[in-house]
Chains A and B, each alone.
Chain A
Amino acid sequence: MNHWIIAPIIVPLAAGAALLVLEGAEAHTKRVLSLSATAALLLIALMLLSAAATGEQHTYYVGDWPAPFGIVLVLDRLSALMLVLSAVLACASLLYALAGEDEKQKDFHALFQFQLLGINGAFLTGDLFNLFVFFEILLIASYCLLVYGGGAPRTRAAIHFVVLNLAGSSIFLIALGVIYGTLGSLNMADVAVKAASTDPHDAGLIRTAGLLLFVVFGLKAALVPLGFWLPSAYRSAIAPVACLFAIMTKVGVYAILRVHTLIFADQSTGTYLLAPWLLPLALATLVLGTIGVITASELRATVSYLVVVSVGTLLAAIGLFSRDALIAALLYLSHSTLVTGGLFLLADLIARQRGRDEARLNRPRAVHQPILLGSLFFVGAVAVSGLPPFAGFAAKLYMLKAAQGSAAAPWFWGTVLVSGVLVIASLSRAGSAIFWRTNDSAGEALPAQRCQALSTGILLAAAFLLMVFAAPALDYAEATVEQLLQSSGYIEAVLANRV
């Protein structure tokens, strides 16, 4: 048993607890502790990635309880990929916060670590109830981080977010109750085995539970009609938090991928419970996000709607439920998470330098460092709208190719392509409004601190590296999809020590 599998949960837990104790300590001490814990997390995640890349599904039985009874953590290619993504994003946003935002109020670092604990746990767990618990951990940390910094707009956005998610948690529990009541298990692999051989009399209940879980995960992923909380929440959070939240919608996407390929699917015939639902809803999300991007009057709102667009594109590709489309979706997931995270940081840098006008697009105030921020914005805009030379371009191309021949192809092609054009146009408009159509009234002379520029650069550079190493990334994505579509491997690995 590889004990490192539980490290992505233990490290932030220990660091967060220590940071709570050290609350009165000097800022420097807390920063060093938090940053070193997050850097350690990145190293561990990379190590786990290389362990998972062998193709073996590693399992960790917590307390060494045999499989269907205890909680099991599973490390496969998909969860390792998500761990690395969240660790990279966490390092960058923490680095950005070190410029001073972590000292605005108490306990930023502790909450940040607990948020990572919840995210990593959700990626690793192989148990449905444990998934619920980790969701709640990441949610309670995100509620606190969302209001971090204070102010009425943040409180209002947080109320919507909290109420929606509490209602979502109730639905999650109902789904879990239905699954446990009919199948008598909550271990994902065990549930998958039992659901496949359930008597037809109960099949309706299982389908109900599957769709209820889809509602919950759709709420987390901000799928239409459950995603209206996202723009106000993300634009009102402080930049490092918004950057970290870029992975939160992907937790929902991950849960959909995991649960609905493993349990609520018949892989021998290639039928998926979600097949009639996911694609239309995702395309509607894409349309709504695009409209938001066009109409947004402030750069942070634009970036929030870009998150909606990326979720829509991603879930639309997953909704095709074909091997090639899933490969493209995984590549797009990695790319869009990094880029939207970077854009949140960049929008904050721009807003600071324009003083009172913030990042509004209808004001002519200039930024203090037009060259640095302008080039970062150019790179980010090119990357997020899926233009070459970035991985987003390759991913979208593969998606369009994968849609070829499916009945939904005209819808998919039309929506994705038109949305792409409109996003490019809106971002060009935003860029020219901020960097070109300016008058002489100089903004605040608040040059970007080195750690702020560096963290923004890291995320955009990571997106660029994804293109440079597109071949290995694609190979990894392909192997991941093979593993996802071959759920018997997962089930055998988890139930290997069955009593």
Chain B
Amino acid sequence: MEALFAIVVGGLVACGVYLLLRARTFPVVLGLTLIGYGVNVFLFATGRLVTGSAPLVLPFIDSPPDPLPQALVLTAIVIGFGMTAYLVVLALKAYGQSGSDHVDGGPGE
């Protein structure tokens, strides 16, 4: 499972970096989102991967899961969501102003 997990995180981040380097605002937004997913999944794994364990901290469970990574991921998701929303609006504004979706605002397509 660890190998599969690592491949998923690596695949998400690799696709994200590729899209980020496309230098057009829409692929850049998608790329940042993919990197964000990869990072969030990675943060989850810091609580260690176990199978068949309870999802909650309950009194009768011997080895309860670590709740902190979940809190961290939640915070990271909220922040990432807000930032992406801002970036989308900014990209639309830049497209309206320069008529190009290139991140450097180059002329035309």
- A: residues with CB less than 8 A from B are 129, 133, 136, 139-140, 143-144, 147, 151-152, 155-156, 158-160, 162-163, 166-167, 169-170, 173-174, 176-178, 180-181
Contacts A167-B20, A167-B32; A177 near B75 (Cβ below 8 A): no
Contacts A140-B82, A143-B86, A162-B87; A155 near B43 (Cβ below 8 A): no
* Interface residues in B73-109 (C-beta closer than 8 Å to A): 75-76, 79-80, 82-84, 86-87, 90-91, 93-94, 97-98, 103-105
CB-nearest residue of chain A relative to B72? A129
Q: How far is the CA of A139 from the CA of B83 in the complex (A)?
A: 9
Since A140-B86, A155-B98, A167-B32 are in contact, a sample of 6 more A-B pairs with Cβ atoms closer than 8 Å, ordered by chain A residue number, is A156-B94, A156-B105, A162-B86, A170-B35, A173-B42, A180-B46
Q: In the complex, what's the smallest C-beta–C-beta distance from B50 to chain A, in angstroms? A: 14
The reply to whether A174 and B42 form a contact with Cβ atoms under 8 Å apart is: yes
- B: residues with CB less than 8 A from A are 20, 25, 28, 32, 35-36, 38-40, 42-43, 45-46, 48, 68-69, 72, 75-76, 79-80, 82-84, 86-87, 90-91, 93-94, 97-98, 103-105
Q: In the complex, what's the smallest C-beta–C-beta distance from A310 to chain B, in angstroms? A: 27
The reply to whether B42 and A177 form a contact with Cβ atoms under 8 Å apart is: yes
A160: chain B residues at CB < 8 Å are: 103
B46: chain A residues at CB < 8 Å are: 177-178, 180-181
CB-nearest residue of chain A relative to B98? A152
A177: chain B residues at CB < 8 Å are: 39, 42-43, 45-46, 69, 72
Label chain B's interface by main secondary structure. helix
The reply to whether A155 and B79 form a contact with Cβ atoms under 8 Å apart is: no
The reply to whether B105 and A152 form a contact with Cβ atoms under 8 Å apart is: yes
The reply to whether A166 and B32 form a contact with Cβ atoms under 8 Å apart is: yes
Q: How far is the CA of A143 from the CA of B87 in the complex (A)?
A: 9
Contacts A152-B97, A158-B90; A174 near B79 (Cβ below 8 A): no
CB-nearest residue of chain A relative to B99? A152
What number of A-B contacts does a CB cutoff of 8 Å give? 87
A173: chain B residues at CB < 8 Å are: 39-40, 42-43, 76
Contact partner of B83 among A129, A159, A162, CB < 8 A? A162
Nearest 7 Cβ contacts at the A-B interface:
A181-B46, A152-B97, A155-B94, A156-B105, A180-B46, A177-B43, A177-B46
A136: chain B residues at CB < 8 Å are: 79, 83
Of B79, B80, B87, chain A has the most CB atoms within 10 Å of the CB of B79
Q: In the complex, what's the smallest C-beta–C-beta distance from A168 to chain B, in angstroms? A: 11
Contact partner of B97 among A133, A155, A174, CB < 8 A? A155
The reply to whether B87 and A155 form a contact with Cβ atoms under 8 Å apart is: no
The reply to whether B82 and A167 form a contact with Cβ atoms under 8 Å apart is: no
Q: In the complex, what's the smallest C-beta–C-beta distance from B39 to chain A, in angstroms? A: 5
The reply to whether A166 and B94 form a contact with Cβ atoms under 8 Å apart is: no
A180: chain B residues at CB < 8 Å are: 46, 68-69, 72
CB-nearest residue of chain B relative to A166? B32
Q: In the complex, what's the smallest C-beta–C-beta distance from A128 to chain B, in angstroms? A: 10
Q: How far is the CA of A187 from the CA of B39 in the complex (A)?
A: 21
Contact partner of B39 among A139, A143, A163, A170, CB < 8 A? A170
B104: chain A residues at CB < 8 Å are: 156
Q: How far is the CA of A70 from the CA of B39 in the complex (A)?
A: 24
B48: chain A residues at CB < 8 Å are: 181
Q: In the complex, what's the smallest C-beta–C-beta distance from B29 to chain A, in angstroms? A: 9
Q: Identify 15 residue pairs between A and B in the complex whose beta-carbon atoms are under 8 Å apart, listed by A's number.
A: A133-B75, A155-B90, A156-B94, A159-B87, A159-B103, A167-B32, A167-B35, A170-B32, A170-B35, A170-B38, A173-B39, A177-B46, A180-B68, A180-B69, A181-B48
